Amino acid sequence: MKQERILMAHGSGGLMSQRLIEEIFKSAWDNEIMAPMLDGAVFEIPAGRLAMSTDSFVITPLFFPGGDIGKLSVCGTVNDLVACGAHPMYLSTAFIIEEGFPLADLRRIAGSMAATAKETGIKLITGDTKVVEKGSADGIFINTTGIGVIKEGIDLRPSRIVPGDLIIVTGYIGDHGLSILAQREGLRFSTPAVSDCAPLYQLTALTDKYQQAIKCMRDPTRGGLATVLNEIAQQAGAGINITEAAVPVSEVVKGASDMLGMDPLYMANEGKMVLFVSAEASHDIMADLKKIPLTSHASIIGEVTSTATGMVLIETELGARRILGMLEGEHVPRIC
Amino acid sequence: MKQERILMAHGSGGLMSQRLIEEIFKSAWDNEIMAPMLDGAVFEIPAGRLAMSTDSFVITPLFFPGGDIGKLSVCGTVNDLVACGAHPMYLSTAFIIEEGFPLADLRRIAGSMAATAKETGIKLITGDTKVVEKGSADGIFINTTGIGVIKEGIDLRPSRIVPGDLIIVTGYIGDHGLSILAQREGLRFSTPAVSDCAPLYQLTALTDKYQQAIKCMRDPTRGGLATVLNEIAQQAGAGINITEAAVPVSEVVKGASDMLGMDPLYMANEGKMVLFVSAEASHDIMADLKKIPLTSHASIIGEVTSTATGMVLIETELGARRILGMLEGEHVPRIC
């Protein structure tokens, strides 16, 4: 049987576009707000603060151990909203699809987005589909833009960070980056490298509970943990000291990155969060993090200082102390 | 001097990404909410209804008479919000850029977005930049997602349409489609074909003023006027009769489409709106539309009937009556 594929007419805005939306998207994520053939979706919101975050996903390969571009596109924006202290509520989705793309793959991606959204409690409410000629895009690119509600009193801006605050990372780092690289280059390890791609919506309960004690959160995606720590050090006007031995790295990532000459601190994550918390509450926060399966390997990796502001210093496993810079140049492209 | 170009490292999430954002985007659209290096933007909103709309823009060529992909990407989402009855407030922007893309073009596009946003009063508050290898995308693709506030009592869903309502189009149709086609194919006409690309934010004053009388609005972009009328006939469960002679078509579009064998009713517009209004208020609404420069060529093109529901009938200039279907197949690809 001939495989069904995306045609240019699926992006015409006419009959074929309507059919594609009805058959693939509408059935995958039907909900009461979704407006598949209108110009936008309408929803009620209480007075207060909202967070808005956008990300386009251009990852290759589209399907990888631990996820696919659909799951990733929901997790990525959900995690950005969570990092703003917001409860993820609504998501728009926009597809740019290359002519000839298999409809079966599109169906699988749409299903994966629907499942992740359902798990998270976020609603996919409006969308867009464009088709470009064969050779004008690489398979499929997905944009998601999310809206979340921030409860009264929550503020996770880096300016709240003060010297003495402790820094937590919620689990093993580098898994997503290694998984994509391994898949792309055909590398095989004794333990397979699986992406950590996951929606961290359960952290909203913690930001609500520890309003005063959780100062700032950020998800270390592109550029990895090292880049995020540098950004925050700059934005907070503070110094950061971390201890390499305290950073959770799995055996497979440790082994593979030694072999490949890569540093897990610069490798991408898609299911991790970095938290800046007050020292007094750190014990309670760590205890709560360890109860959530996705953050059960959380570790205190360092602290905020008043010296060397805007910089990150690392105490290496060999006992040396050096500056840990931002990612310069390119690490692994198209990781998300 | 060597032309500066986008490198893969500009999409790394590291130092080069930070510099690109600082140099091109931050300077073009600085505002108090924008959070260039955070995961999202935070803003206050009153209680009530919001509209959310998303669109990705893949138009080729990137620069055309009457606009460019930057202006278009702001107008497209602004007009969708307006069609929802919303006051456009905030916009996210996400770029997928091909390696090697000239930085000068990116600067021009960012400036164009900033200027259109300023004119409209919408704020560009959060963004994302991804870079893909040369050959994996065609120059640049832009997603914009917008949020608008809908005032109490406004409802522009097609279900409000009843037989007897009149149908207004706010000006000449087909200009955008012809302009892109002409630019792409190197066609020259005695009067140049200029896109109608424009932000129709001034129509929000009318939807506020005529809450009861304006039943539904839609912007006839991809698929053209014919497709939008069919969508609304289906969604409203009503019949639509239009008179071809009443549809405003400029001389250049009329001449060129005759020559090329194309029908302006299926050609894309980027600065037009279709309004469904009560017959009693139609005179006042038309008078108000004619006062706004962008809608000064508004025309009543037909009416809603209780017969032939879900269908659009057209009385042609020759006096014949026929069914006007949705766009089937593909018209002009990558028009937006």
> Is the alpha carbon torsion for A192, A197, A198, A204 positive or negative?
positive
- Chain A contact set for B329 (CB, 8 A): 9, 12, 14, 16
CA separation (Å) from A32 to A35, B8, B152, B270?
A: 8, 41, 20, 29
**Residue B1 CA, distance from chain mean position:** 38
* A180–chain B nearest CA distance, Å: 15
User: A–B: how many Cβ contacts below 8 A?
Assistant: 281
* A165–chain B nearest CA distance, Å: 20
* A62–chain B nearest CA distance, Å: 14
Q: What is the pLDDT of residue B30?
A: 77
Helices (H) and strands (E) counted in chain A, each on its own, are 9, 14
Q: How far apart are CA B254 and CA B269, in angstroms?
A: 15
Q: B20-39 burial by CB neighbour count: b if 16+ within 10 A, else e?
A: bbeebbbebbeeeebbeebb
Task: Express each pLDDT in A72-116 by its tens digit.
Answer: 999 999 999 999 999 999 999 999 999 999 999 999 999 999 999
Domain A158-323 has CATH 3.90.650.10: yes
Task: Express each pLDDT in A263-277 by its tens digit.
Answer: 999 999 999 999 999
Which of B17, B25, B42 best probes binding to A when mutated, by most A CB atoms within 10 angstroms? Answer: B42
Least confident stretch, A204-208, A327-331, B136-140? A327-331
Q: What is the pLDDT of residue B36?
A: 62
Q: What is the pLDDT of residue B332?
A: 86
Strand partners, A317: none
Q: What is the pLDDT of residue B58?
A: 98
- Looking at residue B137, the DSSP 8-state letter turns out to be B
Partner residue facing B51 (CB), from A40, A50, A231: A40
A:207-246 residues touching chain B, CB 8 A cutoff: 218-219, 221-223, 227, 231, 235
Q: What is the ipTM of this complex?
A: 0.96
Strand partners, A49: A150, B44
Q: Are A231 and A312 in contact (CB under 8 A)?
A: no
* Helix boundaries (H) for A221-315: 224-236, 251-260, 279-291
CATH number of the domain located at residue range(s) A8-150 in this protein: 3.30.1330.10
B:8-37 residues touching chain A, CB 8 A cutoff: 8-9, 11-18, 37
Report helix angle B175-185 to B251-260, nearest 10: 60
Task: Express each pLDDT in A275-316 by its tens digit.
Answer: 999 999 999 999 999 999 999 999 999 999 999 999 999 999
State yes or no: pLDDT of A36 exceeds 70.
no
CB contact under 8 A, B330 and A137: no
Q: What is the pLDDT of residue A2?
A: 65
Chain A contact present for B141, CB below 8 A = yes
Strands of B86-98's sheet in order across: A41-45, B48-57, B140-150, B86-98, B123-132
Within 13 Å, how many C-alpha atoms sit on residue A322's CB side?
9
3-state secondary structure (DSSP) of residue A240: strand
Partner residue facing B12 (CB), from A37, A38, A330: A330
In chain B, where the domains are located: 8-150, 158-323
**Residue B171 CA, distance from chain mean position:** 14
Provide the percentage of residues in chain A whose pLDDT is more than 90.
87
Mean pLDDT, 10 residues at a time, over chain B (336 residues)?
Answer: 85 90 85 77 93 97 97 98 97 97 97 96 94 97 97 94 98 97 91 96 97 97 96 96 98 94 96 98 98 98 96 95 91 89
Q: What is the pLDDT of residue B225?
A: 98
B:52-111 residues touching chain A, CB 8 A cutoff: 52-58, 79-81, 83-84, 86, 90, 92-96
Residue in the structure block whose two tokens are 């997603």: B143
Q: Are B28 and B103 in contact (CB under 8 A)?
A: no
